[in-house]
Structure 1
Amino acid sequence: MRALPVAACVLALSLVGTALAQQQEQAPGLPAGSAEVQSAAPEVGAGRGGPNSTQPNSSEPSLPTGQPRSAAPEGIAPRPPRPVTPIPAPPPMTARGGPDAAEVELQHALRGGVIQGMVSIPNQSAGILIQPEGRDWRGFRTRTLTIAGAALVLGMVVLLGILYFWKGPQRIEAGRSGRSIERYGPLERVNHWMVASSFVILGLSGLNITFGAYVLRPVIGAEAFTTFTLWTQAAHHFLSFPFTFGIIVMLLIWARDNLPARVDLAWIRAGGPFAKGHPPAGRFNPAQKGLYWFTILGGLVAAVSGYLLMAPALLDNISSQQVAHVVHAGMAMLMIAAILVHIYVGTIGAEGAFEAMSTGRVDFNYAREHNSLWVEERLTEARRSVAPADARTAGAD
């Protein structure tokens, strides 16, 4: 009977040992009798929402923490991780949740707007950083003005050269008479040469500003071209004043003789300068009148626009300066082409024409052929001064 309790104790001990052995086989690597725990969670900043955390670079599902990743079966390459499309960052926001001012300004510039800062000098246009109209002006300055201006000026030179070799100078048909008549007084000639000399320097310096970088700088070098341009630009500024003053004087002393008249229509219908013979004309024919008014109006437009460019503070924005430059440069090119015609006719194009401004007098036959009505007026005035209309013949009493 004593053997039964001993057998029961042995059987209980064997059952407990069997249970412990099975538990050890299910959790390998853990010491017998210790509790099963997971790996410790990462601290903040170690990849779990902290500042050093990184965004996932794959859409592959992650395994639970502490569970080892199963290896790929033999003979099958592991599948590469699938990239995740990054989420675009929102535009910068202010403290109140609205778009940042710099972002708004950038978007405004990208839509073709103007970005302007604040400056403390009178020229407020100096604060403009981005101005879309500036691209249009740059295209005019570098392409339109350069190409059209060169075509206009050089084209006029070529046409005048063809005209000279085709027809030659216009001769006095009746020949020189040996007598002369006063054409221009001292004031008219002095003012004319003041305007002419000023315009020549203004025109050459303006052409250098437009074409000098392409034509002159490769020939004389960059340093010499810079010095030359600085001096010619200064001359361009200062000589604008006598030019403008002379234009105003021309307007005062010649405006009456250049008003349109009925006889001008007959001169035009007859063919003008290409007519056979010489249509009757006053002191100035319609071609001379047209050149006169174009010089007066064009000269004043070029002068006003040029003065605005010299004093940019008078304009409220840079767009106005660009418009002033377009007007100034375009009118200058037109005036240069027109004055080339005037220079041609007054020098080698017509016999006896240059004497009118060099001495103030022209040959009588020249005056009668080109300005017959004016000659008749001068002869009538001379007869009245010699024999007044109210004078009585001697012995009439």
Structure 2
Amino acid sequence: MPDNRLGRLIPQAIAAFMALTLLVAAPVYAQTPSGSNPTAQAVSEQQLLDELQKIEGRVTLPNTAAGLLEQPQGRDYRGFHEGWLPWIGGIAITGILLLLALFYFYRGRIRTLAPESNVRILRFNALERLTHWMTATAFIILAVTGLNFIFGKRLLMPLIGADAFSTWSIWAKYAHDFVSWAFMLGILVMLVTWIWDNLPDRHDAHWLKVGGGFFDKTNRTHPPAGRFNTGQKLIFWAVVLGGIALSVSGIFMLFPFAFTDINGMQTAQYIHATVGIILIAVIIAHIYIGTLGMEGAYEAMGSGTVDVNWAKQHHSLWVERQAAKGAIPPRSAAEAAE
């Protein structure tokens, strides 16, 4: 009997000893470093940014661009759109308005020296005028709605309230997107129609040298010019090249991520906004000289015809060519030249 009892106690004692040993040793093992950190070899966020210039995840949405979680260029673009762009736009637009006001007070309206001859000459046909006014109307709409993206929440929203501004901005975006196609068509037709008359010629250097006679308060300096003088050529190429830049960058934004990634989209917006601001300033100057700045200039795009004496003062070489082609009756042309 004692042997049987001893035999039963020995395994129980061994089991109790082992359990006690584990209880005592467990805290020690828990505090002892394992010797390896499972996250030590993991790639850090900064390493991903340095190597890939972006951090992307996996998404099940059709829009795969939604998987882009972080990219440093986004902060640069936000700084440009919210910081630099309003300053660029404000300085460009107010600057050109101030310069034109100073020029008007210095020079006044540029008058035609000779009295009207009552002889009209066709300057722009119906297709040319239609193209001009379609493109001009489209650009004005695009300029107003485009400036809303830059200055709307700063200047307009405090005046009309958040709800009205939201409604206006939605319709402004629709107008901007749809009217842009008329603008692009107008740029294309203008390029094809007027490119040959806007190529540089040997008279451009002299025109630039005398500033087109604009700064001669005696109104006696009128450098020879063809159908378009050098100033008009500069505006033409600014509109065409600027319009192409706006069109290409605008198509990238009309079809987001169809042609490029997020960085390309941001580049398109840099170009679109900057070129748009510059072109607005150029067109303001063009509107000034075509209306208030020069007597008789508006008639060219209004009725399509101008007085021969006006044409001789501002586009003498073109008048000579028109007379040589028989577009002006010889006697009338001679009377206008007297």
- Give the TM-score normalised by structure 2: 0.83
Equivalent-residue separation in structure 1 for 2:70 and 2:259 (angstroms): 18
Is 1:144 matched up with 2:84?
A: yes
Is 1:115 matched up with 2:115?
A: no
- 1:249-297 C-alpha deviation (Å, 9 max, x unpaired): 0011101111111122222233323354211100000110111011011
Equivalent-residue separation in structure 2 for 1:166 and 1:133 (angstroms): 46
Alpha-carbon distance, 1:157 to partner = 1.1
Alignment of 1:259-298 (within 5 A): 259-272=199-212, 273-274=214-215, 276-298=220-242
Equivalent-residue separation in structure 1 for 2:307 and 2:58 (angstroms): 67
Residue 193 of structure 2 aligns with which residue?
253
Give the aligned residue type for 1:373.
Answer: L
Residue 38 of structure 2 aligns with which residue?
92
Alpha-carbon distance, 1:122 to partner = 5.7
- 1:9-39 C-alpha deviation (Å, 9 max, x unpaired): xxxxxxxxxxxxxxxxxxxxxxxxxxxxxxx
Residue 132 of structure 1 aligns with which residue?
72
Find 1:182's aligned residue among 122, 126, 144: 122
Q: Is the alpha carbon distance of 1:304 and 1:373 closer, same or farther for their aligned partners in structure 2, counting shifts above 3 Å?
A: same
Gaps of 5+ in 1: 1-39, 56-86, 387-397
Residue 104 of structure 1 aligns with which residue?
43
Equivalent-residue separation in structure 2 for 1:359 and 1:254 (angstroms): 18
Equivalent-residue separation in structure 2 for 1:43 and 1:147 (angstroms): 77
Alpha-carbon distance, 1:107 to partner = 3.8
Residue 252 of structure 2 aligns with which residue?
308
Alpha-carbon distance, 1:345 to partner = 0.5
Equivalent-residue separation in structure 1 for 2:156 and 2:290 (angstroms): 29
Q: From the two aligned structures, give the one with the greater helix fraction.
A: 2
Root-mean-square deviation (CA, aligned residues, Å) is 2.7
- Number of residue pairs matched by the alignment: 309
Alignment of 1:336-375 (within 5 A): 336-375=280-319
Q: Is the alpha carbon distance of 1:50 and 1:277 closer, same or farther for their aligned partners in structure 2, counting shifts above 3 Å?
A: same
Residue 244 of structure 1 aligns with which residue?
184
Gaps of 5+ in 2: 1-16, 331-338
- 1:106-145 C-alpha deviation (Å, 9 max, x unpaired): 2425658411123355643221101011111111111111
Q: Relative contact order (alpha carbons < 8 A, sep ≥ 6): 1 or 2 greater? A: 2
Percent of residue pairs identical: 41
Runs of 4+ in 1 over 6 A off after TM superposition: 44-47, 51-55, 383-386
Give the aligned residue type for 1:138.
Answer: R
Is 1:219 matched up with 2:159?
A: yes
Give the aligned residue type for 1:309.
Answer: M
Is 1:379 matched up with 2:323?
A: yes
Q: Per the alignment, in what secondary structure is the counterpart of residue 321 of structure 1?
A: helix
Point out the more displaced range, 172-181 or 336-345: 172-181
- Contact 2:56–2:70 (Cα < 8 Å) also in 1: yes
Equivalent-residue separation in structure 2 for 1:267 and 1:358 (angstroms): 26
Structure with bigger gyration radius: 1
Equivalent-residue separation in structure 2 for 1:186 and 1:343 (angstroms): 20
Give the aligned residue type for 1:195.
Answer: T
Q: Per the alignment, in what secondary structure is the counterpart of residue 362 of structure 1?
A: strand
Q: Is the alpha carbon distance of 1:260 and 1:338 closer, same or farther for their aligned partners in structure 2, counting shifts above 3 Å?
A: same
